[in-house]
A = this chain, B = another copy of it.
């Protein structure tokens, strides 16, 4: 018998650690001066095959994954195999992407701009909304109430730039049993989502059996991106908006808003959450 080897494809990537937290002098309400920590924020201009595409403002924690995930979530690249290499040059604040065969119609496909409501990145090229018609999130995926609590607690206790310096958004990708797979922070919450999308591609991780956590609000484009990644569960400690809610209904995503401690609001895709009787505390019930 022939032996078939499945080789996982990985583009050539640079590795470019940079400072993520800076110290600046501040004076408080008692006129006391001290140094405080703030997160980095730096421009990163994405060039694809020599063509300047866009400038992202980023923390800089995962620029290669961010660049890849950006191209993925903007639907400019359909598979990781299209990418030959991604090189970051912080001196020039640039990400240089080389594709294997170019990006077809890149001019035309980047012509339309939607500026979205979320924290950060925002711009979505083209009519991503149209694509939602083709997305089917797994109807049988389930999340138990105790796993939800485990996820919320994992985020709360995770070592983070946020704890050190504030002013960043965080995203986590979890297994359906609540194991943390990736945790990314960025000054733009969309950068954080896109970076995780990039990591998922690099490591051939699919979304159907995953849970996505974001510290940011569940606005339309946050729901759209999670749907594009095929993830049926989207969790946030913040709230949702009318269009976030509407898109989640359309793709039948399970949205869990206002998740802090043992509290949450299950707003769409309700059949996927498994309530656990021993966790249902009647004393919390609103009269």
**A198 contacts B by Cβ under 8 Å:** no
Decide: B115 and A54 in contact? CB cutoff 8 A: yes
The answer, yes or no, to whether A50 is at the interface (CB within 8 Å) is no
Interface residue stretch chosen among A6-14, A77-85, A276-284: A276-284
Once bound together, how far apart are the Cα atoms of A40 and B242, in whole Å?
5
Q: How far is the CA of A238 from the CA of B190 in the complex (A)?
A: 18
Is A262 close to B, CB under 8 A? yes
Q: Mark A201-213, 1 if CB is under 8 A from B, else 0.
A: 0000000000000
Please determine whether A119 and B119 come into contact, CB atoms closer than 8 angstroms: yes
Contact across chains for B116 and A243 when beta carbons are under 8 A apart = no
Q: How many identical chains are in the complex?
A: 2
Q: Are B41 and A167 in contact (CB under 8 A)?
A: no
| Residues 23-62 of chain A, each 1 if its beta carbon lies under 8 Å from chain B, else 0 | 0111111111010101111110000000000111110000
Q: Are A187 and B241 in contact (CB under 8 A)?
A: yes
A282 to B, closest residue via Cβ: B30
Asked whether, in the complex, the Cβ of B57 is within 8 Å of the Cβ of A114, the reply is: yes
In the complex, chain B residues whose CB is within 8 Å of the CB of A27: 265-266, 270
Having A28-B284, A38-B242, one finds 5 other A-B pairs with CB under 8 Å, namely: A25-B267, A115-B122, A117-B186, A119-B217, A167-B239
